[in-house]
Amino acid sequence: LRSMDTVARLGGDEFAVLLEDFRTNREAIVIVRRILNDIRQPMRLLGREVAVSASVGVVLNTAPYDSP
């Protein structure tokens, strides 16, 4: 992520990523795809290779929201 963005752990395996100051919605989507690609990369834990996946929901603050 960029220095202006924020990552927060909400609990357990739930995280929020707040992206600041992007010019187009497509730019935000590129960042989300990069995050998902990085998460999918296998890693070694205690000598074993582990792979994880994630699901993502995106809300763009491009217009006022009246309901969830």
Residue 28 has, within 13 A of its CA and on its CB side, a CA count of 17
Q: What is the pTM of this model?
A: 0.73
Confidence at 62, pLDDT banded by 50, 70, 90 = low
- Predicted confidence (pLDDT) at residue 9 exceeds the cutoff of 70: yes
Q: Which of 59, 68, 62 is nearest to 29 (CA)?
A: 59
Per the model's pLDDT, the better-predicted residue between 1 and 41 turns out to be 41
- Proportion of the chain above pLDDT 90, given as a percent: 46
Q: What is the pLDDT of residue 36?
A: 93
Confidence at 22, pLDDT banded by 50, 70, 90 = confident
